[in-house]
Amino acid sequence: MDPSSSTMVVTYLEMCRKPGDLTPQAAPPGTVIRRIPRPSIRFYRKLYRSVGERWSWVDRLRMDDETLKKIIQDPQVEIHLLLKGWRPLGYVEMDLRFHPDIELTYLGVVPAAIGKGMGKCLLDHAVQSAWRNAPRRLWLHTCTLDHPGALSFYLKNGFKVYNQEVRATSSTPQGESFLSITPRSLAGVRHAPFRP
């Protein structure tokens, strides 16, 4: 979808059963996945931008420092990096604050890592990590501003659609489009936890 469009389709997906085979795809040679507890705001924003800029991720860039810090440094929010040496190639963020529902808040890789199996590696890692916490379900949302293959990727990997809706986008002064999801905007979504 054209990022300058005034609407997008948001698709909500969930995984309500632990997959039978939870053997994650091995990390590509020379890479490792590590949890990073309590990342700095500066590091997080740089990571978020490097992965999401191409897909119009701006919600976390718009947050004030204190709000963002409360989220990313909460012990119930897990951020796992895919690293090659000390260079982040991608990350996955999981929100366990509303257990038994666990939200896969963000998952993505830097542009140079797209199409190399690293997203699959991160998703497998996230699914395995989430089910260790015995959730009722693992859920996420994607939209038509994300990678064109995002929805089919999640469907292929065991997630099922439970809701879709058309939402308005807003433009920033720089012309970026963004989707802002708030507790009020999630009120009608089945099982969606309320989160800031």
The answer to whether residue 35 scores a pLDDT higher than 50 is: yes
Token couple for 153? 């990727």
In this prediction the pTM is: 0.82
107 against 167, higher pLDDT: 107
Q: What is the pLDDT of residues 49-71, one digit of tens each?
A: 999 999 989 889 999 999 999 99
7-178 maps to which CATH number?
3.40.630.30
Query: What is the predicted pLDDT for the residue at 56?
Result: 86
CB neighbours of residue 17 within 10 Å: 10
**100: cis peptide before it, omega within 30°?**
yes
